[in-house]
């Protein structure tokens, strides 16, 4: 540690307790500050997704324990269950002992204050009507919709409208007219690379419904595991799953659970590639002889189905007949991506087959395979969905192409008359900021498509691939960022205010916890486990939490190139796994730096020092002691050292900016070189406060050039 840093830490020691406490709770304080700064907009609750049209008035519907809800729904129906959930959540948020036995009776009467009405039961298919109208007056709430699905969506908006003042809880009076912009609003959950138990799927379905997503894309076969019980070919799940699979009864339970929430469940069985687990029990359908073992590593592997073997299609005919009965959704996803052709090239029978059928290359061979699979799916009344690679001229127009390559692929498909959904830009496993997902649009404002072609873009899906997540970390990679994708797919295109999105996201993130998702709570649990039985002080534990709050996993696929080989068996319990994909605290720091640089107000400079530089500097020493004591934390010692140097750099930059003095070209050059070093990952993490420090240096550099 440098002498300067030691001196800095010594002079700030007296601020440790107060400053550290201030920083740990800073996000809560900033949340309140942002809401307070909204002025007139403070009366608008944090709605996400933003409805198509909201008109709020001055009145308030006051909530008390005599709040009754009722409509035409009979007990056991979708809306009856939704009202029961609504009332339970309302009681949970307010602490009110609601008098109504909402689990038994929702008939309307003199005490009814929330009235719901719909015309018909909605079908779980694309383009079904999910619109609703919500009207709130001082003594009555009315929710109307063409289908019961609209009632479900409107109830979520009503809950988000719940507000409070010194007199208690209330709903603001007004009118909401709402409908989704896109009909296909999904979340892919990969249960193959790491198995996701039933409770993970169900709690995420509840969270999906809260933000009006309507498709669970369930990835159920992969090189690392085949996850569905099949009675026609039991060796698939018996030999290809390590014993981790869903029984057919569990599958039906999830489908019914999702249906009650207005969510479709579309299965994906990835073929002809990404298919090693199929061949563990059935090597006879592979393009190369076995034996095969379940893959433990990640990537693209050679095993692939044999398109030249007639028995392959007889196998799939029986398989999809069973699967079509199990999954009622009209769509079935066949994957079709990243097919390695090595085994096709090495198999003389396959090469002879290609020559006989005039198949010029491997793309033509896969197109042949896809057409045969399409015949089978059509036979069982299923429409095919697949990744970009499935597209070949001649396929029927009712297939759906899911694009991982980008909006241009959707444009090209739509111009040829094909339906598409976007996932490029929504890969939430890549640990990218919410803003990046939020501004990514299936139909960008500058889209060259005609209005008719735009109708072929059905929507999009967030994709939660599971190479680097476990059941205890997957929620933190999905939420809260998927809520902003849900808004992009539901709300009007012009809703694009990033700062307001983050304001609302903070509140929605906390609300999502009532569904059981563990995106917030598990961080503390994981940090406590890392410390284990080593006796540490509460100050050291608080310092560790603070470091986790301002650290982020490296973005993209960089974790796979940081020197460790990840497999499906390695623990995902390290410090990097406890860090959120995006540090909202670091974003707040950057915004505060930007505010100071634009205003140069002394009070903003003091706020920066007291809220960030002093408390961050104060945690370096306890963190260093902690990393010496705890074996599992030794790998973050360089990260801690980097934090100390960043604090010094930022503090010195602030001093120069406040005093108006010039640090000199050499100082700036040295700091820029040091910052480049500090930006290199440590323990597969990066300190998310670096962009804020970089802005301070840039401001000094600009000032020096001007002078």
> 240: which 2 tokens?
């290809």
Output the pLDDT for position 496.
Answer: 96
Q: For the residues 439-449, what does the mean pLDDT come to?
A: 95
Considering 128, 142, 338, 555, which one is annotated as catalytic?
338
Peptide bond into 396 cis (omega under 30): no
Q: Give the model confidence (pLDDT) of 634-646 as tens digits.
A: 999 999 999 999 9
Phi/psi zone of residue 349: left (φ > 0), alpha (ψ -120 to 50 degrees), beta? Answer: alpha
Measured between alpha carbons, how far is 584 from 552 in angstroms, rounded to an integer? 10
* Nearest partner of 403 among 391, 417, 415, judged by Cα: 391
Q: Give the model confidence (pLDDT) of 331-345 as tens digits.
A: 999 999 999 999 999
Measured between alpha carbons, how far is 665 from 429 in angstroms, rounded to an integer? 41
Indicate if the pLDDT at residue 118 is higher than 60: yes
Q: For the residues 536-543, what does the mean pLDDT come to?
A: 93
Output the pLDDT for position 45.
Answer: 82
Q: For the residues 425-454, what does the mean pLDDT come to?
A: 96
Where is pLDDT greater, at 335 or 12?
335
190 three-class SS: strand
pTM: predicted TM-score of the whole model, two decimal places: 0.94
Q: What architecture (CATH level 2) is domain 53-178?
A: 2-Layer Sandwich (3.30)
Q: For the residues 337-355, what does the mean pLDDT come to?
A: 96
Q: Give the model confidence (pLDDT) of 383-434 as tens digits.
A: 999 999 888 877 888 899 999 988 888 999 999 999 999 999 999 999 999 9
Q: Which residues, 6 or more positions from 303, have their beta carbon under 8 angstroms from its beta carbon?
A: 223, 273, 275, 276, 279, 286, 287, 288, 292, 343
Output the pLDDT for position 13.
Answer: 44
Measured between alpha carbons, how far is 309 from 353 in angstroms, rounded to an integer? 9
CB-CB neighbours of 628 under 10 Å = 11
Output the pLDDT for position 479.
Answer: 98
Measured between alpha carbons, how far is 277 from 662 in angstroms, rounded to an integer? 64
C-alpha to C-alpha distances, 631 to 637, 642, 700, nearest whole angstrom: 11, 19, 40
DSSP letters for 322-358: HHHHH---SEEE----S---HHHHH-HHHHHHHHHTT
Q: For the residues 573-591, what does the mean pLDDT come to?
A: 97
Domain ranges of the chain: 3-37+521-706, 53-178
DSSP letters for 481-529: HHHHHHHHHHS-TT---HHHHHHHHHHHHHHHGGGT--TTTHHHHHHHH
Output the pLDDT for position 707.
Answer: 63
DSSP letters for 637-664: HHHHHHHHHHHHHHHHHHHHHHHT----
Annotated catalytic residue 338: yes
Highest average pLDDT, of 158-167, 388-397, 559-568, comes from: 158-167
CB 553 within 8 A of CB 581: yes
Tell me the residue length of the chain.
707
Q: Give the model confidence (pLDDT) of 268-300 as tens digits.
A: 999 999 999 999 999 999 999 989 999 999 999
> 476: which 2 tokens?
């933190």
CB 149 within 8 A of CB 262: yes
Measured between alpha carbons, how far is 424 from 442 in angstroms, rounded to an integer? 9
Output the pLDDT for position 641.
Answer: 97
pLDDT confidence bin for 380, thresholds 50/70/90: very high
- Using a 10 angstrom Cβ sphere, with 0-12 exposed, 13-18 middle and 19 or more buried, the burial of residue 97 is exposed
């Amino acid at each position: 540690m440098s002498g300067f840093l030691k001196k800095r830490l010594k002079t700030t020691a007296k601020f440790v307790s107060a400053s550290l406490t201030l920083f740990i709770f800073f996000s809560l304080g900033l949340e309140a500050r942002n809401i307070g700064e909204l002025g007139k907009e403070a009366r608008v609750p944090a709605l996400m997704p933003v409805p198509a049209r909201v008109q709020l008035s001055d009145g308030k519907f006051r909530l008390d324990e005599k709040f009754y809800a009722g409509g035409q729904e009979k007990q056991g129906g979708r809306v009856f269950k939704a009202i029961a959930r609504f009332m339970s959540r309302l009681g949970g948020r307010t602490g009110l002992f609601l008098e109504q036995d909402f689990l038994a009776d929702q008939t309307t009467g003199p005490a009814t204050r929330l009235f719901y009405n719909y015309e018909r039961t909605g079908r779980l298919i694309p383009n079904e009507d999910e619109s609703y109208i919500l009207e709130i007056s001082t003594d009555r709430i009315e929710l109307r919709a063409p289908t019961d699905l609209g009632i479900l969506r409107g109830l979520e908006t009503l809950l988000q409208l719940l507000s409070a003042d010194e007199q208690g809880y209330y709903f603001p009076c007004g009118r909401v007219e709402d409908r989704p912009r896109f009909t296909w609003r999904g979340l892919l959950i990969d249960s193959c690379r790491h198995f996701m138990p039933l409770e993970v799927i169900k709690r995420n379905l509840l969270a999906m419904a809260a933000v009006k997503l309507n498709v669970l894309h369930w990835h159920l076969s992969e090189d690392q595991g085949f996850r569905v019980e099949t009675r026609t070919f039991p060796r698939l799940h018996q030999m290809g799953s390590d014993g981790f699979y869903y029984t057919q009864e569990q599958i039906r339970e999830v489908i019914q659970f999702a249906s009650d929430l207005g969510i479709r469940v579309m299965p994906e069985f990835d073929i002809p590639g990404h298919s090693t687990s199929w061949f563990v029990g059935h090597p006879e359908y592979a393009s190369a002889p076995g034996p095969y073992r379940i893959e433990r590593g990640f990537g693209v592997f050679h095993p692939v189905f044999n398109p030249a073997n007639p028995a392959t299609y007889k196998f799939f005919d029986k398989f999809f007949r069973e699967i079509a009965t199990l999954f009622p959704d009209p769509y079935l996803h066949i994957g079709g991506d990243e097919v390695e052709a090595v085994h096709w090239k090495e198999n003389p029978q396959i090469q002879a087959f290609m020559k006989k059928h005039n198949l010029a290359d491997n793309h033509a061979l896969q197109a042949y395979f896809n057409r045969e699979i399409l015949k089978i799916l059509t036979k069982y009344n299923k429409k095919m969905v697949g990744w970009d690679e499935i597209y070949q001229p001649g396929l029927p127009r009712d297939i759906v192409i899911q694009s991982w390559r980008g909006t241009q692929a959707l444009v090209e498909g739509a111009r040829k008359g094909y339906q598409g959904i976007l996932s490029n830009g929504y890969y939430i496993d890549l640990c990218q900021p919410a803003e990046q997902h939020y501004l990514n649009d299936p139909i960008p404002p500058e889209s060259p498509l005609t209005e008719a072609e735009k109708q072929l873009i059905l929507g999009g899906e967030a994709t939660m691939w599971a190479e680097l997540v476990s059941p205890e970390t997957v929620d933190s990679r999905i939420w809260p960022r998927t809520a902003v994708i849900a808004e992009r797919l539901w709300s009007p295109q012009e809703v694009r205010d990033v700062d307001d999105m983050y304001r609302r996201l903070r509140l929605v993130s906390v609300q999502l916890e009532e569904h059981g998702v563990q995106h917030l709570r598990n961080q503390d649990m994981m940090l406590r486990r890392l410390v284990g039985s080593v006796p540490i002080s509460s100050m050291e534990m608080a310092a560790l939490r603070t470091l986790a709050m301002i650290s982020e996993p490296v973005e993209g696929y960089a974790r796979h190139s940081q020197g460790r080989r990840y497999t499906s068996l390695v623990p995902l319990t390290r410090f990097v796994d406890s860090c959120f994909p995006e540090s909202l605290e670091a974003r707040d720091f950057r915004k505060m730096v930007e505010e100071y640089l634009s205003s140069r107000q002394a009070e903003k400079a003091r706020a920066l020092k007291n809220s960030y530089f002093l408390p961050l500097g104060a945690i370096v020493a306890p963190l260093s002691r902690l990393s010496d004591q705890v074996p599992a934390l030794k790998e973050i010692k360089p990260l801690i050292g980097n934090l100390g140097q960043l604090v010094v750099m930022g503090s010195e930059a602030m001093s120069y900016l406040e005093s108006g003095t010039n640090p000199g070209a050499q100082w700036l050059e040295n700091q820029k070189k040091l910052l480049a070093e500090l930006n290199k990952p440590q323990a597969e993490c990066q300190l998310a406060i670096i962009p804020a420090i970089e802005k301070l240096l840039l401001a000094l550099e600009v000032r020096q050039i001007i002078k």
